Structure 1
Amino acid sequence: MEGKEEDVRLGANRFSERQPIGTAAQNQEKDYKEPPPAPLFEPAEFFSWSFYRAGIAEFMATFLFLYITVLTVMGVVKSTTKCSTVGIQGIAWAFGGMIFALVYCTAGISGGHINPAVTFGLLLARKLSLNRALFYMVMQCLGAICGAGVVKGFQKGLYQSNGGGANVVAAGYTKGDGLGAEIVGTFILVYTVFSATDAKRNARDSHVPILAPLPIGFAVFLVHLATIPITGTGINPARSLGAAVIYNKDHAWDDHWIFWVGPFIGAALAALYHQVVIRAIPFKNRT
């Protein structure tokens, strides 16, 4: 029996890296440094070059994102045969691959949001200030408009006749279907962003060479595979706005609210889920 008790004690200490589950985890000493919450409003940022540099990075990344992805969409829809283009799978790869590349390039400058819904979710989680979030969103939307505009400049008539890459709810689906697809799709994306960039994960999995942009880009790819037939896949209000502004047809604007409301709801739910369930924020004890 004594030998067995010793084995039990050794077994309990053998896997010290394992984290306790449930509320017990809240009482353990942290092996990582939790970044402090960002202030709601930080006027000093307006006098910092890094603030404007980050905004420029968001503009350029969203510009390149729309340029490549909308150009890919145009190449698919104008073709008379599916075999001569990359098809829906290629469109999904274009969106996911560009997000992977652009997040990798801009993460160290602006955080690599490239999406107002991602920015909104991180704002709710106190990862950045309100003034920075609004600045990012404006720059993202401007970059998206410019990116779609360059694509239209190649062949205006062809661009207008093939939908301009604008997001609309496809025939056979209701507006509720489109809204639901955008909410769930954005939830998956923003949830992946939170998980891939979590300080706690970085500490726990420091021995695993995880590249955060990879799961983010892969999440975008998978969501596009699922929802391109429903809405053309928005999950990014800047992407939807840029294509709608340049295309500028009535039917593109009829459903446009879905591509703002859906992503923002999905991002808010992802932020809530990550902070309350995944990170298990401790609640104050009532005495």
Structure 2
Amino acid sequence: MIFILVYCTAGISGGHINPAVTLGLLIARKVTLVRAVLYMVAQCLGAICGVGLVKSFQSGRYDRYGGGANSLADGYSEGTGLAAEIIGTFVLVYTVFSATDPKRNARDSHVPVLAPLPIGFAVFMVHLATIPITGTGINPARSLGAAVIFNKDKPWDDHWIFWVGPFIGAAIAAFYHQYVLRASGSKSLGSFRSSSNF
């Protein structure tokens, strides 16, 4: 589903359906602050409306499965839940940066067309790892939408994890990709060019 959503919205907004991804792109200076804020507001409103629709069409299952609201599973500490969200979001945002990197070689020019595919797989793999811990947030808007409509104490008590974790993970991924990998890649290319001049 993420693959389809990103593919369908890429030509409109760049596929922004997650405030954490938007934050990462803001840190990397790929979107302006105004645009990032507007995207995040739209993402949160869309998530609330989406959960409201699900509840109206599937009220029985909605209640049975806790409204899809994220909360920390029994037996896990807040630190573990926070770490799961940080790591999971790092994987997602790093994949977004890698899959959409415009500085790929000419031989990889087909990759931007396929960028939603690895992004979708990254979300799938993160879900496999973190569903037992937090129900997998990695998207603050989705977590907010479910918490607003379900409106029970447990999801609200744990809700901070689903904003702080993804934002930290996104920031680390943005800094790592832009200022560690890109910087070392530029230095390597520069030294190769200088050595080839001899």
- SS at 2:70's partner residue? coil
Question: What is residue 22 of structure 1 aligned with on the other side?
Answer: none
Paired AA for residue 174 in structure 1: S
Instruction: Return the letter of the residue paired with 2:17.
Output: I
Offset from partner CA, 1:78-130 (integer Å, 9 cap, x none): xxxxxxxxxxxxxxxxxxxx110011111111000200000000000000110
Partner of 2:153: 250
The 2-side partners of 1:115 and 1:209 are apart by: 19
Q: Alpha-carbon deviation of 1:159?
A: 2.2
Identity %: 79
Q: Is the 8 A contact 1:195 1:201 kept in 2?
A: no
Equivalent residue for 1:134, pick from 37, 40, 44:
37
**Counterparts of 1:141 and 1:251 in 2: how far apart (Å)?**
20
Matches within 5 A, 1:28-39: none
1:102-113 paired onto structure 2 within 5 Å: 102-113=5-16
The correspondence for 1:153, drawn from 56, 59, 64, is 56
The 1:279–1:121 alpha-carbon spacing in structure 2 relative to 1, beyond 3 Å, is same
TM-score (norm 1): 0.62
Moved over 3 A (4+): 155-158, 207-210
Which residue is equivalent to 2:90?
Answer: 187
8 Å CA contact 1:104–1:112 kept in 2: the answer is: yes
Residue 123 of structure 1, aligned match among 4, 20, 26: 26
User: Relative contact order, CA 8 A, sep 6+: which one is greater?
Assistant: 2
Q: Distance in 2 between matches of 1:202 and 1:268?
A: 26
- Which residue does 2:177 correspond to in 1? 274
Query: Which residue of structure 2 aligns with residue 218 of structure 1?
Result: 121
Alpha-carbon distance in 1 for matches of 2:101, 2:151: 39
Structure 2: where are the runs of 5+ without partners?
Answer: 188-198
Whether contact under 8 Å (2:99, 2:112) holds in the other structure is no
| TM-fit CA distance, 1:204 | 5.3
Q: Which residue in the other structure is 1:265 paired with?
A: 168
* 2:144 alignment counterpart: 241
Distance 1:119 1:208, change over 3 A: closer
RMSD in angstroms over aligned alpha carbons? 1.8
Aligned residue number for residue 78 of structure 2: 175
Q: Which has the greater radius of gyration?
A: 1
| Farther off after superposition, 253-262 or 148-157 | 148-157
Q: Per-residue displacement from partner, 1:144-177 (whole Å, max 9, x unpaired)?
A: 0011001111243542343100000100100111
Deviations 1:241-263 (A, max 9, x none): 00000000011100000000000
What's the offset of the Cα at 1:134? 0.3
The amino acid across from 1:133 in the alignment is: A
Say whether the 8 Å CA contact 1:117–1:236 is kept in structure 2. Answer: yes
Number of residue pairs matched? Answer: 186
Task: Show structure 1 runs of 5+ residues with no match.
Answer: 1-97
Taking structure 2 as the reference length, the TM-score comes to 0.89
Distance 1:105 1:207, change over 3 A: closer
How far 1:267 moved relative to its partner?
Answer: 0.2
Quickly say closer, same or farther: Cα 1:210–1:156, change in 2 above 3 A.
closer
Structure with higher helix content: 2
